[in-house]
Each structure stands twice: as structure tokens, then as C-alpha cells.
Amino acid sequence: MTTDFAALKRIALTVRMLSVDAIEKANSGHPGLPLGAADFATVLWANFLRFNPRDPSWAGRDRFILSAGHGCMLWYSLLHLFGYDLPMSQLQSFRQWDSKTPGHPEFGMTPGIETTTGPLGQGFANGVGMAISAKMLAERYSKELFASRVFGLVSDGDLMEGVAAEAASLAGHLGLNNLVYLYDDNHISLAGETKICFTESVPKRFESYGWFVQSVDGHDMQAVQQALTKATAESDRPSIICCRTTLGFGSPNKANTHDVHGAPLGAEELKATKRNLGWPEDKSFFIPDDVSKACANLLETKVAAYRKWQEQFSAWEKSDPTKASGLKLQLTRTLPASLKQNLLNAFTDGKKDATRNLSGKAIQVIAKEVPYFVGGSADLEPSTKTQIKDSPEIQKNSFSGKNFRFGVREHAMGSIVNGLAYSQCWFPYSATFLVFSDYMRPPMRVAAISHLQSLFIYTHDSFWVGEDGPTHEPIEHVMSLRAIPNMYVYRPADGMEVAMSYYAALSRKDRPATLIFTRQNVTPLERPSGFNPDSIMRGAYVVAGAECSDLAIVATGSEVGLACDAAKLLKAKGVSARVVSMPCMELFREQDASYREQVLPARARKVSIEAGITLGWERMVGANGLCIGLDHYGASAPGELIAEKFGFTPNAVAEKILRFSTGK
């Protein structure tokens, strides 16, 4: 740890100038945060954060999260100065096409970027998931090797968002002493001073959550260093350091105003800022030699710590080869070769059951074979059937289990699961009722953008919820989740489809999955002789009536059984139809044209059946197809009665299809 604060001040000044030069060149960006937060961020990176730019994915590293993602030039500048593969040309290409320095940090695009941030509060909650991940790894393998920490920079905007409150509450409950956030307390937001809408006592709020709270001058490096030393010594609480700063520090005419928050300084103000801070006015993207040398010296210390860790890791591997082998499988998220067949074997009894119960069976099979399959529900384990049996819960000072108690915190739950997924060594899942996916769309969208393997499990998937009424009966939700690019949405019809949907979701490591299950019972489908379950992983397949190519009924989930029953009634009236189950639209659209034609012939008149909105089904059945669905909200009554009233019975469906097929 260096106490040469003069050298650190020079590094911070360079971070400021690189940031404002990049923003000015792009004519776009947020200079206020890099100018204001550079001092305390530099102390953190120089003296506390463990990393090695030559091995960015080192398993023993600390994580840094810039939850206030709009200030990303701060992060990019630090990455460049500390030797990551982010050359000056990339800083000069800030916010430009195909650069590695986009306008908000994006996971997987830039070396050293740990999270995709920008939607405020998401990074805050991701960090809670990452801190939990580190605790779990330490408990399972080695507390010495995995004593890593999560540091983050959070803003006023982050702390205004409700997701941060949810996540902070759970972090305090769990006593995550490996989580340290620095709050850039600058009293300015994009629209003006924060006092126009944000006057609470942040320190008292976090004290009530059970956090260790300190307040310092964010420009006093020595005070910041002392506060970080105390925070990292905490034994049973997460920490937040409230760093009072000046937004746009150094800008003579814009500092401490909202004008510097989200717009370039402008050519004249940029010159005035450089002059005010003693920086050469005529130089852009300039790094003084003494700063390069200081960063290189600091990096040598970090690389030496990295080498020592590698030596300790090698000794541990030799002393405990069984655990080492398990860790290797976990870090690669390897699936056992037996998993698919064992999942299928769990559903051979042929009994009626709700797919939420079948999902519960699948979860037990997966958890038994895959130790790094973990997750929980938003206070709904008894209803979602997602609790892993024979495994303890994650609680304070106890991180060996697989079950999470997220409480009624859906938004934070999704974002924390993403934090576990960013760690890239878990198959993490969340669970709640489908209607509450509205609370989770932000983390679901970020998971899709970031190519995270987060699993979002939803039950109670339609009006069949019944007596709870319209507030709890999802109508628009399934199709709205399908609208998220890069998200696979699975709505299985029976046990075999449940098994293969889970297997497909676990097999695709670069995309999130949504798995949607019923409350009501379904009957196992009668499939053709010799049916190959792998067909389910192609998104859609023919369940019955393969010989018919003139009329095709496409359905998902519980409506596949309804379609089969309606097809039998149609056949008795002389109308033949094939029935297609489509558990995953996204997978089906990825298939080659010949397979899609084989399942849904172009010449066939097509019908869709789904207990939800019809919008979107025209992509599958065509503009002239028949979409049987529900384009209004539900009602409070027993599910069977609602089905009758809404026309979701075999007779009612067969009658609609008969009129459609005959044109009468």
C-alpha cells in the first residue's frame, strides 16, 4: 500500500483528463462523475483492489463495479492506466461504432469490465450477488484462496432506485463483510440539485440496514484510505463510505452544477479546466511519464500478490485434489453426461400433475447432480416448488447451502441472480409468480444484453390461477417476455418437456432462460412411437397428426393438451389436424428452413392456442391464421369455470377451429 499521495493525486488528475478528453472528442458523455470521483477511485484501485490485467478472469481477484455506469470513462481510464488490454486508440474511440469503450460499460466487450451497468441500481444489486458468490466459494473450497471482495462506486441515482434498497436490506441481513461501496455524494443529479427530490439521511438509512457507515471528504485521499482500511477490516457487516465530492471538480464554470453531469464541457471550458488543474492546455490524451511509472510500480505489487496466490492455489490443488476437481468443473459449468437421461427418467409415471410440481422434481434431480445449481424464490418456495431438498439455506455466516431466501424483493432477486451469473461459476435461478415478472424486467433485460446464464423461473402462468383474480392472472406476460431479444422463453406442456426445457436452459451458457409453469394439472402428452426427446430442444415438434399438412394447431404449455383434445373432436367431425407443441419460440426460429417446414408446412392453415394475449402469434400462424387467446384481463372464480367462460374447453376450441377451417 502506497502512502505517496502526491503520486496518487497525479494518477487521479490523469484519470480526469483522459476522461474529459474522450468525452469531448465524442461530443457525448458524462464528465461530472470522472472529474469528481477520481480521487477516491484512484485510492481504491491503487491500494485495495486486487487484480491482474494479464489475467483479467483470475478466480481470486476482487471485483469492481461502477454502478453509476454513465461515468464509465472513469473506469476505462483506470483500466488503461493499470495495464489492461485497452489501448489509447480505444479511449479515443469512446462511444463510437465497434469500440471497446461504449457509452455505458458492457460485460464481455471490454477486458476488466465485470458488469453491464447503466440502469441505475442494477450494479449495486449485482455486487450483492457477487459478494454472496465469493462467500459461497470460500465456504466450499478455501477461505484463504477465495477471500475476495467486491468494491463498487454508487451514486445518488443508484440509491434513489428501489432495487438498491431491496439489495441493501438483504446484504445487511446476510452480513456481507466482503462488500464495500463508495458513495459519490455530490448532491447533484441530471436535472438539478438532489435536494429537490432526495433529502433523506443516507447514513442513517444504511445503518438501519445493518451496514458499517463512514463519511469522508472524497477528495481527501488520506481520509479515503483510512476509511477503506476500516471497511476492509469489518468482520460481519457490509460497508458504505459516503464520499462528499464536487461533481465536475476542477471545472471553473460548471463544477457543482447539473450542467456538468451529462454533457461535454465544451472546448473553452475544457481548456479552462486544464488550466485550473495545472494541466497542459494544448495536450489531449496525455499521460505524463511519472504517472506511467507510478502505475507500473503499483501493478508490480499486484502481480506479485497474484503470483503468491497462484502458488497457494497449486499447493491447495495437491493437498485436496477432490475439491480441486470439483472447482474445475464449477468454473467451467460442466454438466454431467448423465443429467439429461436422469431428468427424463424422473417423468415416466404418466400421472397428471401441475408443471410447477414437475419443475420441482426437475430441480431436485439437477441439484443432486450439479452442485453449483443454486437459487431461491421471493418468499414463495411453497408455491413455486423451487426449494432444493437436503440443502441448507444461505444465511449470515453460513454460505455452504444452495437455497436463497430472497424475501419479497423480486427486483433485487433478479439482479442478485445476475451477480451470481456474472461470477460465471454457478447455474443461478430465481422464482416467483409469472405476474410478478413485471418487477423483474430490468434485470432480465440486462441478463439478455450481457449474455448471462441466469434462469428465471415463473409459476401460476395463466388465468387458471383462478380465485386470486385479475391482479394475479398473467395475460400479457408470456409474450412480453418473448419480446426480450436474446432471451429463451420455455413454456413446457408436460414432464418430458419440463425435463428437456431445463436441460436446454442449462446447456446454453451464453443466454438467459425463462421457464414458465402451471398451477393446474396437465396430462402427459401421447407422442408418436419412437419419439426423440431431443426434438423438444428444437423449439417445436409434431405431437399428433403428422400425416395432415392442411391444418396445423400450434400450442404451448397446458394448451397443448387442450389442442390434442380439440383435434380429436375435429377428427370425429371429419376434419384432420396436426398438433404442434412449441415450448420455445426462440429455439424454433433458430432451426433451418427445412425443419420449420417439416413442422409447420407453409401450405397449412394455422391456428395458435395460448392462454394469453394473441399479439405476436401472427408471426407463427400468418396474417390469415386463427389466434385463440385472451386479449382481456381475467376474473376471480375457480379456474375451471373461467376456462369455460373464456372458451378454453375442447368443445369451444374445436368449434372455433371448425368455423375457421371451413370458412363458415
Query: What CA–CA distance (Å, rounded) separates 325 from 323?
Result: 5
What pLDDT digit, counting tens, does each position of 269-290 carry?
999 999 999 999 999 999 999 9
- Cβ(625)–Cβ(605) under 8 Å? yes
Would you say residue 425 has pLDDT above 70?
yes
Assigned C-alpha cell, 554: 400450434
pLDDT at 191: 84
Q: Spell out the residues 6+ positions from residue 612 whose beta carbon is closer than 8 angstroms to its own.
A: 462, 474, 475, 476, 477, 478, 479, 629, 630
Indicate the DSSP class of residue 392.
P
Contact 177, 237 (CB under 8 A): yes
Q: What number of other Cβ atoms are within 10 A of residue 528's Cβ? A: 13
* Torsion of the alpha carbons at 581, 583, 585 and 591, rounded to the nearest 10: -70
- Is residue 570 within 8 A of residue 658, CB to CB? The reply is yes
Residue 444 in contact with residue 488, Cβ under 8 Å?
no
Amino acid at 82: F
- Helix then strand count (H, E) for the chain reads 25, 20
Answer for the pair 122, 166: CB distance below 8 angstroms, yes or no: no
- What type of residue sits at position 565? D
Residue 554 confidence (pLDDT) above 90: yes
Distance CA(651)–CA(629), nearest Å, equals 15
Alpha helices in 469-621 (DSSP H): 477-482, 495-507, 558-572, 585-590, 593-599, 618-621
pTM of the model: 0.97
Task: Look up cell 469492481; give the residue.
Answer: 64
Contact 307, 283 (CB under 8 A): no
* pLDDT (0 to 100) of residue 192: 84
How confident is the model over 462-487, as a mean pLDDT?
A: 97
**What is the CA 147 to chain-centroid distance, rounded?**
24
Query: Does the pLDDT at position 325 exceed 90?
Result: yes
Chain mean position to CA 602: 37
336 phi and psi, to 5 degrees? -65, 145
The arithmetic mean of pLDDT across residues 135-140, rounded, is 98
Q: What percent of the chain has pLDDT over 70?
A: 100
Whether 260 and 266 have beta carbons less than 8 Å apart is answered as no
- Residues forming beta bridges with residue 627, ordered by sequence position: 608
Q: Three-state SS for 213?
A: strand
* Type of residue found at 285: F
Q: Is 166 among the residues known to form the active site?
A: no
Per-residue HEC secondary structure of 225-278 comes to HHHHHHHHCCCCCCEEEEEECCCCCCCCCCCCCHHHCCCCCCHHHHHHHHHHCC
**Mean pLDDT across 341-347:** 97
Query: Which run of H or E residues covers position 578?
Result: strand 578-581
Give pLDDT, residue 432: 98
- 143: buried, middle or exposed (CB in 10 Å: 19+, 13-18, 0-12)? exposed
Return d(Cα 9, Cα 13) in angstroms, integer.
Answer: 6
Rounded to the nearest 10 degrees, how much is the dihedral formed by the CA atoms of 350, 355, 357, 359?
100
CATH numeric code, 339-522: 3.40.50.970
pLDDT at residue 375 in the model = 98
| 653 sits in which H/E element | helix 650-662
101-105, 192-196, 594-598: range with lowest mean pLDDT: 192-196
Report the pLDDT value the prediction gives residue 265, as an integer from 0 to 100.
Answer: 98
**Are 539 and 586 within 8 A, CB to CB?**
yes
Determine the pLDDT at residue 132.
98
- Give pLDDT, residue 349: 85
Tell me the C-alpha to C-alpha distance, in Å, between residue 290 and each of 12, 15, 74, 286, 496: 13, 14, 20, 12, 65
Same topology between domain 5-305 and domain 539-662 = yes
**Distance between CA atoms of residues 449 and 443, nearest Å:** 10
Indicate the residue type of 3: T
What is the residue whose three cell numbers read 432451426? 591
Domain ranges of the chain: 5-305, 339-522, 539-662
CA-closest candidate to residue 542, choices 596, 610, 492: 596
Return the ∠ at Cα 299 (arms to 298 and 301), rounded to 5°: 70
For residues 248 and 348, the model is more confident at 248
Report the candidate in 27, 29, 111, 24 with the shortest Cα–Cα distance to residue 68.
Answer: 29
Instruction: HSE, CB side, 13 Å, CA atoms: give it for residue 585.
Output: 24
For 446, the grid coordinates are: 440486462
* pLDDT class of 664 with cuts at 50, 70, 90: low
Catalytic residue of the set 106, 269, 410, 473 = 410
Contact 458, 516 (CB under 8 A): yes
- Whole-angstrom distance, CA of residue 237 vs CA of residue 23: 37
CATH superfamily of 5-305: Thiamin diphosphate (ThDP)-binding fold, Pyr/PP domains (3.40.50.970)
CATH class belonging to 539-662: alpha beta
